[in-house]
Amino acid sequence: MVEKAYRKLDVWKGNSLSIAGRKTLIDSSLSNAPFYQMSIYMLPKTITYKLDKIRRTFFLARGGGTKKKYHLIKWTKICKSKKKGGLGIKSIRKMNISLLCKWLWKLETEDGVWQQIINFKYLKNDSICTVKHRQTNSAIWSDLLKIRDVYLQGRKMKVGNGQKTLFWKIYGCTMILWKFFFLIYLICAFKKISLLTR
């Protein structure tokens, strides 16, 4: 991925481009090159740092020249949205997390063959909120579980009939209920009781 980004830079003459031209090239090519990998796997921080460094150098050093230049503005400021005073260049890390969150959203809202396979293999009677990581999980499912907390932030739980909603695993104020009342949970005889149980 990183080598591919470097090969693209070798062809471009960034020092003859304007700021708008460099931004367009970053948005259309450098940011979208690892799109497939970002939508399947959680990229390591070292890779996202290298990809950001390539984009930053191309933009701020006018095409990646070898001469060291001083930058008058931080890269994090440039990556902010236009409403917040930036240029709207997308952060690779945030884009990676949001693409993975989309899979979890599709798993909850849509019904298809792959959703049935995931439900049968990984979820069983659990929900995304309560499923635990296992050693036998695939790399893709493990990566989805890593970003689960980001996905669950600021959302409400839809109980439905209550069969899959375990009482002690209900999310309240972004924290699981048993963590709020840990001592009561320890002495409780029915730890896996659902809301459907009367």
Q: pLDDT exceeding 70 applies to what percent of the chain?
A: 64
User: pLDDT confidence of 108, banded at 50, 70, 90?
Assistant: confident
What are the boundaries of each domain within the chain?
Answer: 2-91, 159-198
Phi, psi of 136 (to 5 degrees): -85, 0
Query: In the prediction, which pLDDT does 4 show?
Result: 66
pTM (two decimals): 0.70
Q: Which tens digit of pLDDT belongs to each residue from 16-57?
A: 677 777 777 777 776 666 778 888 889 889 988 888 888 888
Query: In the prediction, which pLDDT does 101 show?
Result: 92
Query: In the prediction, which pLDDT does 102 show?
Result: 92
How many CB atoms sit inside 10 A of residue 11's CB? Answer: 6
Q: What is the mean pLDDT of residues 103-127?
A: 87
Q: Which residue has the higher pLDDT, 4 or 23?
A: 23
- The lowest-confidence range among 34-38, 46-50, 88-92, 179-183 is 179-183
